[in-house]
Amino acid sequence: MDEWCKKMHGLAEMIQRKFSGFYLAGGTALMLKHRYRVSEDLDFFSTRYFSRRRISQRMRKMFPVEKEEMGEDN
């Protein structure tokens, strides 16, 4: 689990540098802080308006996306 935590932590930090205004939350945030469970996704939130479609396009340029679940824009 420690190796997985390191990989997820590095990925989360990289995403936060590229997408300012977002913060990590959910199961992965708990995994990185308390190391009590394994989480396979990254949940980022923002208090500001953003276009999910634009974020998705930027992410697809940076990473190979295997699965994407998208709701309505806020």
User: Is 32 part of a structural domain of the chain?
Assistant: yes
Q: Is residue 55 part of a domain?
A: yes
Q: Strand, helix or coil at 4? A: helix
State residue 26 phi and psi, 5-degree precision: 80, -160
What are the tokens at 18? 């590229």
In which domain, by residue range, is 23 found? 2-62
Q: What are the residues whose beta carbons fall under 8 Å from the beta carbon of 57, sequence distance 6 or more?
A: none
**Residue 38, pLDDT score:** 77
Residue 36 lies in a domain: yes
Q: What does the pLDDT average to over 28-51?
A: 82
For residue 49, being part of any structural domain is answered with: yes
Computed on alpha carbons and rounded to an integer, the radius of gyration of the chain in Å comes to 13
**Number of domains, the chain:** 1
The pTM (predicted TM-score) of the whole model is 0.68
At residue 63, the pLDDT reads: 86
* pLDDT for 33: 81
